[in-house]
Amino acid sequence: MMSAADMDETIPETESAGAETPSNGGLARVETAMEPAPQPAPVPVFDATPWPVAPRPAPRQLRMTRPLGPRMWTAALALALLFTAGGLAILYLDDAGMQSSVHQLSSDNQALKGQNKALQAQLLTTQTNLSATLGELATVRAELEHPNLTIWNVPQDISGPDYYLAGGAPDTFTYHLKATSNGPMSISILTLEDFAKAISCVQNGQGRTNYCMHHSGSPFHTWNSVGSVDFDFHGAEGCADYVVVFTSAQHITVTPNISVTYNPATSATGSCA
């Protein structure tokens, strides 16, 4: 590329060669010079030169204007002692609180042990009462299943050898024969058939009542001339065929206490078997 100075120098050379110009009466002619091809722009160069930095002054050492005096040392020591005492006080309070908590827990534990012993005693008492109650219930159940009833307890007289007292032994019951008298009495447990034979014996003049009731047929059991009797008869538990007869050779008073217990047999008993 031509510079501006070169171009100024080129133009006068053309004019000096006699070129016609409007001033000399010729045609104006412009000659253009051939310019060279444009060159590419130069690559910019990065300037890596660091910016100048002023040097920093070195730190100045701290200098004590004057040494620590005894008062400062005393204050520092007092402050250290104060912190130490505060820490010890905190530890003491913490330990005291912990000991108080331990004491409270120990007291609660003792109270719980006392309550536990009381509950165990109550439980033992309850178990004892329960056992007693169960025993009573078992007794009551047995009594309900086998009730006991008194059927003859009024004193009665036998006026002599021609009189008698008689009562039936009920079926499905145990007959508790218990009686006393103020003189000798005879007692027999008879079947209805033997009782009928004894009546016939008396009616036919074969003997007096005191004899025929105990010597007709085959009595189940006979007590002759006794002052008391106590016997449990089980023959009627499965049989309705028995009569109990009292007689005496003299005038006496019989005091019975006869009862029965419901106890039905699973099969026939006595003369019914």
DSSP H helices in the chain: 4-16, 70-145, 192-203, 209-215
Contact in structure between 213 and 247 (CB atoms under 8 Å): yes
Give φ, ψ of 118 to 5 degrees.
-65, -40
Query: Which residues contact residue 243 at a Cβ distance below 8 angstroms, ignoring those fewer than 6 apart?
Result: 166, 167, 168, 169, 189, 190, 191, 192, 195
How far is the CA of 53 from the CAs of 46, 48, 50, 57, in angstroms?
20, 15, 8, 12
The band of 85, judged by pLDDT with boundaries at 50, 70 and 90, is confident
pLDDT in tens, 123-168: 999 999 999 999 888 888 888 888 999 999 999 999 999 999 999 9
* Spatial separation of the C-alpha atoms in residues 245 and 220, rounded to whole Å: 12
Residue with token string 């009381």: 118
Identify the pLDDT of residue 82.
81
The band of 12, judged by pLDDT with boundaries at 50, 70 and 90, is very low
pLDDT in tens, 187-212: 999 999 999 999 999 999 999 999 99
Identify the pLDDT of residue 94.
78
pTM value > 0.75 = no
- Give the distance from CA 169 to its chain's centroid: 56
Identify the pLDDT of residue 31.
47
pLDDT in tens, 226-255: 999 999 999 999 999 999 999 999 999 999
Identify the pLDDT of residue 37.
64
Range 211-223 average pLDDT: 95
Identify the pLDDT of residue 98.
83
Query: Which residues contact residue 225 at a Cβ distance below 8 angstroms, ignoring those fewer than 6 apart?
Result: 184, 185, 186, 249
Q: Which tokens hold the place of 230?
A: 């106590």
Buried/exposed code over 39-55 (b: 16+ C-beta within 10 A; e: otherwise) = eeeeeeeeeeeeeeeee
Residue 155 per-residue DSSP state? -
Q: Which tokens hold the place of 124?
A: 């033992």
